[in-house]
Amino acid sequence: MYGLCTGREPFAGATLTAVLTALAVDTPTPVNEINDDALAALVMRMLEKDPRRRPKSMQRIAEVLARIERNPKFALASAATSRTQVIAPLASRGRRTPKPAKRASRRPLAALSALALAALLGLLGLAAVAVKLTRQESPSPTASSTPVKEVPLLELKRVDQQEWPHVPPRRSPNDPPPGTVQVRGVTSPNGIFMHPSPRPGAVASLSVEAGKRYRTFETQVSLNDGPRGGGPPVTFWVYGDGQLLWKSKPIHGQWELDRCQVSVENVNVLRIAVTCEGEPFGMHAVWIEPLVK
Nearest to 61 by CA among 104, 125, 4, 116: 116
pLDDT tens digits, residue range 189-210? 889 988 887 777 789 999 999 9
pLDDT at 90 over 50: no
Contacts of 30 (CB under 8 A, 6+ apart): 40, 44, 83
**pTM for the whole structure:** 0.49
Return phi, psi of residue 144, to 5°. -80, -25
pLDDT at 211 over 80: yes
Instruction: Determine what percent of the chain is predicted with pLDDT higher than 70.
Output: 67
pLDDT tens digits, residue range 111-157? 566 666 666 666 666 666 555 554 544 344 444 444 467 899 989 99
Report cis status (omega within 30 of 0) of the bond before 165. Answer: yes
Query: CA-CA-CA-CA torsion for 158, 143, 134, 22, nearest 10 degrees?
Result: 120
Q: Give the pLDDT confidence score for residue 96 in this predicted structure.
A: 46
Pairing of strands 285-292, 158-162: unpaired
Most confident of 50-54, 88-92, 110-114: 50-54
Contacts of 165 (CB under 8 A, 6+ apart): 179, 193, 194, 195, 204
pLDDT tens digits, residue range 261-272? 999 999 999 999
CATH 2.60.120.1060 segments of the chain? 151-292
Query: CA-CA-CA-CA torsion for 282, 285, 289, 293, nearest 10 degrees?
Result: 180
Q: Give the pLDDT confidence score for residue 79 in this predicted structure.
A: 41
Return phi, psi of residue 208, to 5°. -130, 160
Q: Give the pLDDT confidence score for residue 123 in this predicted structure.
A: 65
Q: Does domain 151-292 correspond to CATH entry 2.60.120.1060?
A: yes
Q: Give the pLDDT confidence score for residue 72 in this predicted structure.
A: 55
